Amino acid sequence: MKPQIAKGTRDHLPADMALRESVTAAIKSVFERYGYEPLETPAIERIDVLTGKYGEEADKLIFRIIKRGEAGERGAVDLGLRYDLTLPLARVVATNRDLPLPFKRYQIQPCWRADKPQKDRFREFIQCDVDCVGSASMLADAEMVAITCDCLNAVGFERFRVMVNHRKILAGLEEYAGVPAELGPTAMQAIDKLEKVGLKGVRKELADRGVPKGAANKLLSVLEISGEPTQVLDDVEGLLENSDIGSEGVAESRELLKYLEISGVDKANYEFNLWMVRGLDYYTGPIYETYIDEPKVGSISGGGRYDGLVGLLAGQDVPATGTTIGLERIVAVLEITGRSVAAPTRVSVLVTVFDESTLGESLAVARDMRAAGITCDTFMKPDVKLGKQLAYAEARGIPFVVVVGPDEAAAGAVQLKDMAKREQKEVPKTKLAEVLLTEHGC
């Protein structure tokens, strides 16, 4: 058997994990500064909870788990791996009616999609979600945009675009253009491809999906509106004056923009974009998606308001909004651009073992350093020459090595070697932890 990893998945070695954990810690810190608290949910959910909420295309990507026993032999399915973190959150709220609302939670866990593996698209990936459940105020949506900007700043991005749109405005534009109601969802799917295929490609998509030519032309002419967010809304407001849902979307969007300005979010980092759709069916209000110009890796965050989703499980409407910060895409960009590199090993010290007779001394030194809070490893083979032990420390990037030979053991001292400076000095064993902490910041 040839050992191969499953397609669409990856191993993350320690050097990779250093960067991933650094990015995750920065994102988590921002979430907590805004008052959000952690939540974890199981990797598996009931299949009836998972299906029928995302849309037909997304439902096809759910990893299904066959029932055990005789039912399994017939291919019946009762469970599935979670597709995202939003639906599990909706289930948690629906089954914990005593949660204080608004419920503000963040969740950083893996999700799975039975997608076709390709560059920067995986079947297993980490999502960093932040959601506010129980508030219908556009202030909650503005907070999602603000959190996104702060997260991206925290991991080293300065130039990015948080694109904002509103599902009610899109519904109003369908009415304005005369798109048949039954073709509304498929028309939106075509529009969502604008950045990938251009206007010409979207025009073809609309035709292939059966949208009348006149309606398609009218719709595409509106999608070319661009400019400052308030100007875009001014331009589209007159077109939607006869659409109640569209006018409602414009009003809510103006409120959202007002809150962004009051919050001090940099105007250079967000724009109002009429062709940004977001694919999931459960969005009902403002939607947001973030891109960087270079390199082209797709969106690095996205989310929106989903006021009806919790109600599907709870039996009563509960307003909600949230966004996802894409760990995989962010790490990929940081690696490609070289703006961040993997941090060195988190092991500060390697304690060498001179031979079997001094093994007890080496283990005692290691125990004392760990008690002082210093990360420490001990070499595992007493019969290996010191040179090879030093080479091992260098290969792992361990910055300091402690040598405990017979002479040092007799004198109650150790040799402390700085691997970067290639310097070595004798230190009393009782002072070793203090020297490492105060002089070297271990």
For the chain, domain boundaries: 14-337, 349-438
Number of Cβ atoms within 10 Å of the Cβ of 70:
8
Cβ neighbours of residue 127 closer than 8 Å, sequence gap 6 or more? 84, 85, 107, 108, 109, 110, 111, 324, 326, 327
Class of domain 14-337: alpha beta
Task: Work out whether the CA dihedral 428, 431, 437, 438 comes out positive or negative.
Answer: negative
Which pLDDT score, from 0 to 100, does residue 226 have? 87
CATH of 349-438, one of 3.40.50.300, 3.40.50.800, 1.10.10.60, 3.30.110.70: 3.40.50.800
Per-residue confidence (pLDDT) for residue 259, from 0 to 100: 97
Please, are residues 180 and 261 in contact by the beta-carbon 8 Å criterion?
Answer: no
Q: Cα-Cα-Cα-Cα dihedral of 171, 177, 181, 186, to 10°?
A: -80
- Determine the pLDDT at residue 175: 93
From edge to edge, which strands make up the β-sheet containing 376-378? 376-378, 349-351, 400-403, 413-418, 423-428
pLDDT score at 344: 54
pLDDT at 70: 72
d(CA 104, CA 38): 9
DSSP state of 121: B
Task: Copy the structure tokens of residue 249.
Answer: 């979307």
Residue 338 has a pLDDT of 73
**What is the pTM (predicted TM-score) of this model?**
0.85
Q: What is the pLDDT of residue 307?
A: 94
- From first to last of its 442 residues, the chain has per-residue pLDDT tens of 788 888 888 898 887 888 899 899 999 999 999 999 999 999 999 999 998 888 788 889 999 998 887 766 777 889 999 999 999 999 999 999 999 999 999 999 999 999 887 776 789 999 999 999 999 999 999 999 999 999 999 998 888 999 999 999 999 999 998 999 888 888 888 888 887 888 888 899 899 999 999 988 998 888 888 899 999 999 999 999 999 999 999 999 999 999 999 999 999 999 999 988 887 778 999 999 999 877 777 789 999 999 988 888 888 889 999 999 989 889 888 888 776 554 556 889 999 999 999 999 999 999 999 999 999 999 998 889 999 999 999 998 899 999 999 999 999 999 999 999 999 999 999 999 999 999 888 8
The predicted pLDDT at position 129 comes to 97
| pLDDT score recorded for residue 121 | 77
